[in-house]
Structures are given as C-alpha cells and as structure tokens.
Chains A and B, each alone.
Chain A
Amino acid sequence: MDSILSIFNYLSTYIVIAGIYAIFSLGLNIHWGFTGIFNIGISAFFALGAYTAAILTSASPSPEMFEDFIWGGNLPESLGFFNLGIDLWYFVGMFGAIIVCGISAAIIGWITLRLRDDYFAIATLGLAETVRFIFLNEKWLANGSRGMYRIPKFLGEWFPPAYYNYFYGIFILLLIFILYKIVQKAINSPWGRVLKAIREDEIATSASGKNVFLFKLQSFILGACIMGIGGVVYTHGIRYLDPLTFDPLMATFIIWAMLMVGGSGNNKGAIIGAFIVWAIWTWTDFLPGFLSDPNLKFLMIGLLITLVILFKPEGIIGEKKVKLSSKDIDKELEPTE
C-alpha cells in the first residue's frame, strides 16, 4: 500500500514538473515551431514570470527570516476583501507576470526582430543572462542568491499538503489543455497561417503585403507570455526561487530538447516532448554510477538536439506538411489539426 502511494506521489510530482515544462515548450513552439524565430533565452521569460508572481504574492519580508527584499505584494492578503472562496490572487499574479513578460518581449523584439534571425537569438541570450544577473545582484528586489521562499500555494488551504501535488498536477494538465486550445486556435487562424508563411519564406510573405515584423513581434510576445505563465505555475508549485533556478541548462536547453524531440510545429508534439524528455531526465537518476551523472545528461541533451536536427527534423510527431499547390502563400500550409 505504501509503495503504491509512493509511486503515485512520484507520478504526481513528475506530472507537475513535466507539465510546467510542457507550458514552456508550447510557448517555444509559437516562436520556433510556427514563426521560425530563434529564442535561446527562454529562461528570461521563465524568470520574469516566476519572480513577478512571487514578488506580487509573497508576504512582506521579515528580516528574522533573512529576507532582504523590500517589497512583497502580498496579494493573498490584500485581495482578501473579495473572499469568494477562490484564490483570485493567483490569477492576478499571473496577469502581472504576463504583462511583465509581454512588455519585455515587446522591447527586445522591437529592437532586434527587424534584423537577422541570429542577432535576435544573441539578444535573447543576452536578455536571459541580464535578467539572471539582476535578480542575483539586486537583493532589494528578490532577495538575491538567498532566493524567495514562503511563496503561497494556489488553493493551498483546500488540500492537505500530502495530496497537494495531486491537485496541482490535475490543475496543470487542465491549464495545458486550455493553453493548447488557445494556441491551436491562434495557429489555425489567418494570423497563424501568416506566421507559418513567414517561417517558410519571409521574403515572399513580405512581398504579399504582410508586415512581417509586426507578425513576428506579436508571435514573440504571445510565446513570451505563455512562458511567463509557465514561470507562474512553477513558482506556486515549487514555492522556492533563486537565480540558480534559471541556469540555461534547466531553463532553456532542456526545453529546446523537449520541443525538438516532440516535433516543432506541432502543439501536441511540444507537449508530448516535454513529458518524454522529463521522463528520461528523471528516470535516469535510477541508473547506477556515472550513468546518472547530471553532466552526462547535459551532454545527452545537446546530442539529442543535434541528432534530431540532423536525422529527424520533424521530431516524433512532426507537422503535417502539404505540398505546395497554390501560389497563395497564405494557403501554403494546411491546418495542423
């Protein structure tokens, strides 16, 4: 009985973390899979989303707990007057995170998306490092390297701690489903078809009268906002944040591996890829000796990305591509579903 319970506990934790990664993977799919913009700074939006939610919802700092930051929004308290029995603060915090991610994506995108794709990539990398350094060095903002803890749980009082992950796992799966539907709808709209056209042939799309830059910017902002949501879900799930959380390996590279393995350009692939890669990542912990070495996993992530690009660029479930039959670039690709 106990062993069955511990398996369930393990599974629920697995679903929570893999599910959080699936949200990032969905966001990245909008960038790379549908628009072809090369974002290697996912951790920037992860961090911005996570920290925004944490700062807005944490209680005011208490010096006796070694908290150096100066302001915690304490939304759970200040939104108490609504008291509808639902933790509204969670969604307010999420909204704040989306705004912050959207604005920073707009600024970086505005500067670099007009230029070559690879400038943009380096700019996202720079943004990621800069964001990490700011949270590391500005102790007044988010407690620096000590990190933020005492982050409230969403609907924490409804569930006993031992079973909380069951609820949170289901909640995340629901959230993934909603986000999947939203992204799917966006991608199959005329707007989404323009994005795909940009990915296939930017010049032709621009020649057909579309403002490629604006479409790319919108796509970048949308993807960044979804990544921000991933950050929020992470914050309230793990309930501890420090700048090490946003190391490029765990906050950028692994997400790329998930998307590439699952199949970029396919939202289902993006989600499944996250669950597969996270399964490999955690379950190799049980391997003996150096096989469970985290550095070896690091190597494998790189190998995985390179091999997928070389031998199976469409991933496990790629995008269904239809042969060019019409000169109309808008209709170049059929809807994925």
Chain B
Amino acid sequence: MNLANRINSIPAYFKILLGFIKNMNLANRINSIPAYFKILLGFIITLSIAFILGVQDLYVHGMLIGSLFALGAIGITLLYAIVNFAHVAHGDFMTLGAFLAFPLVASVVDVEYVSYADDFAFTGLFPALGLDQVGLGPFTFGFTILLAIPISMFILAIIAIGLEKFVYRKLRLRGSSDVMIAMASFGVAILLRGAISTIFGTQLRSYDRISKPFLKIGWGIDVPPDLLFLGIVAVTLCLLTHYILQYTKIGKSMRATSDNPDLAMVTGININKVIMNTWIIAAGLAACAGILIAVGSAQMVPQMGWKLLIPIFAAVVLGGVGNAYGAFIGALIIGVAMEVSTEYMNPAYKLGVAFTIMLLVLTIKPRGLFGGKD
C-alpha cells in the first residue's frame, strides 16, 4: 500500500490538531501541576459530587473523622520512614492513650483488676482536684480532657521510649529483620491490650459527658460540635508536626535519615536520637488520636485500637508509605470513603471499605498516591 498517499489523504486540519495535542504535552502538564493544587481540585470535585448525591453531611463527617485517623497514620508513616518497620502496636498505643486519660478525667474510675476482691473505685485526678466540669460550651466534654491530652501524650511517649530501648533497639542491634521487629511490635500490641483490659476490664466505657445538640451548619450539614472541635485539634497537631518536620533541626534530621540513613550517619547525625524523636512524636500523636477518637465516638473499649489499625494503615498505604503528607490526605480520603459508604451499604462494613481501598491501592499503585518508600 502506498503509505505516503494515505498520510497525504489525512485532512490538514486533523494534522494540525494532532500537532497541537502533541505540543500540549498533556502528560507532562498534568505532572507539572503542583500537588497542593491537585489536592485542592480533588477536594472541590469530590465535595461537589457529594452535594449532587446528597451525602455532603457524611462527607463532612468523614473529613473530620479522617483528620483524627491522620494523627495515627502520620505516626505509623514516620516510623516506617525512619525505623523501617510496620508498627503493629500503633492501634494499641492509641487505645492506651485514651485509657491513660481515663483515670485523670473520669469522676468514677472503677478498676477491674482489684475489684476481684471487692468493688474498688476512686475519683479521677482532676475531679478530685475539683476540676470536674462537663459540657464545656456547646461540647459534651469538659476542659479537663484538654488538660489530659498533653499528660497522656507525655506518658505514652515515655512508654514508647522504654519499648524502643528495651525491645526494638535490642532487636536492631542483633540484626533482626524488619519483619521480626514488626512481629515484636505485634507481641507488644497484645501485651498493651492485655494490660488495659486487665486493669480496666473489657466493658464499654466513656469519659464523663452530657448530650448536646448538633450544630446546624446549613446545606443539610449537621455536625456534633465535639467532632468539629476535635477535627480542629487534630489538624492543629498535624500542622505542628509539619512545622517540626520542615523547620526544626529535629525534623530536618528525621527527613535526612529517612532519605538516606548512611549519609545521615556520615554527616554526624545520631541515628539513635533521630529514632527516639520519631517515637516521641509518633507516640504523642497516637495518644492524642486515641483520646480524640474516644471523645468523638463517646466510647472506648480495649480492642478499639486494633480495629483502627485497618483504616490507619489503609491511609498510610494510600498516601505512600513513609510520606507524612500523603498519610494526612490518605486519612481524610479513607475517613470520607468510610462515612459516605454508610449511605449505600451496611455501616458494619466501614472497615471493609477501608480494607478494599487498601487492597486496590496495593494492586494498582503500590507506592500510593503521593509516592513513598518501596
């Protein structure tokens, strides 16, 4: 066949169009759009879709709940980035954070462990000091919970440092594989959960609270004021983490270690110190996440953290393992997907939705939306 003829027979305008499309270099242009702009665009598009489908209420709920997940997800992803293992005990860190606050703020703290002999209960620390207000402003909780957050973060950070010193560092020095270290964190997870249920029992608990009406924002969006507030606290902490990572010596040394641990070592960065700092940040965020989730869902049980592992790891994988910003966005997406799904299917399958998203990401784009470690 006469190829030249055929090419000549293509209308001129079509060739011009083709050339134009080539010149546009679409793939490159899409790649050159800054990430934050893409995220903003994604947010606007999905929110509009949510309005069209009439699920804007669930969408906003999902965003707020997702921001609570983000606190956990950022910790896991930072540990991945620096210590390079899956911290399976992170969910139980969150549970522990929530339960550490309990004896501080509850007006009645009954302790299962001793109640075998006879009923044993005491007044929580803050109520004993006369600080036992609940129903602060439009919220169900009192300001004491805000005092409890930093205390719980601090205690959990100390526990994390202890575990790093006496478990994980020992295994690393022995040359154990990453899976072995993940396995050890699995043992720690069971240990922590066992300790919590031994001391507090396994029944459903919650901090002292009184019911409050939902906040009507308009456009069919009603949110519990608690959730709005908790979301703001969570986002503030994420911003603080962002500040630490970008602008402080601690954060820069963390990012450098994550990038290239060998080079970090020859520039005089003390890797052990970096790992400690990572544990402190991850544990602090986890403690806060635990308390916020316990307040937001008005309940806490020892197994809550283990179940939270699934959405949180899904967020980590979705955002790209080791990428703190990816984890934040990933958590928001997972939160929204889980909440919106309840409109269309049995709410009991929320976790299944997160799990399915994780499997899809692992199949299609194992490095996540924003790129991460292999």
Contacts and interface: CB of A to CB of B under 8 A. Distances in A.
- Do A and B touch each other in the complex, judged by CB within 8 A? yes
Interface of A: 32, 36, 38, 40, 108, 111-112, 114-119, 121-123, 125-127, 129-130, 133-134, 136-137, 248-249, 253, 256, 289-290, 293, 295-306, 308-310, 313
B229 interface: no
A309 B114 CA distance: 31
B195 interface: yes
Q: How large is the interface on B (under 10, 10 to 19, 20 to 34, 35 or more residues)?
A: 35 or more
A296 B358 contact: no
A210 B312 CA distance: 34
B86 A137 contact: no
Interface of B: 85-86, 88, 112-114, 116-117, 167, 170-171, 177-180, 182-184, 186-195, 197-198, 201-202, 306-307, 309-310, 313-314, 317, 321, 346, 348-349, 351-352, 354-355, 358-359, 362-363, 366, 374
Contacts of A121: 86, 88, 179, 182, 186
B171 A302 contact: no
A309 B184 contact: yes
A188 B346 CA distance: 47
Given A38-B183, A40-B186, 10 more contacts: A36-B177, A115-B366, A125-B310, A126-B354, A137-B349, A300-B194, A302-B194, A303-B187, A304-B187, A306-B188
Nearest to B114: A290
A88 B24 CA distance: 69
B2 to A, nearest CB: 48
A126 B348 contact: no
A302 B346 CA distance: 33
Scoring B177, B192, B314, B362 by chain A CB atoms within 10 A of each residue's CB, the highest score goes to B362
28 contacts: A40-B88, A117-B178, A117-B182, A118-B86, A121-B179, A122-B317, A125-B309, A126-B314, A127-B355, A129-B307, A133-B351, A253-B190, A289-B116, A289-B117, A293-B116, A295-B194, A295-B197, A297-B194, A299-B194, A302-B187, A302-B193, A302-B194, A304-B187, A306-B184, A306-B187, A309-B183, A310-B167, A310-B170
B110 to A, nearest CB: 14
A298 B171 contact: no
A302 B191 contact: yes
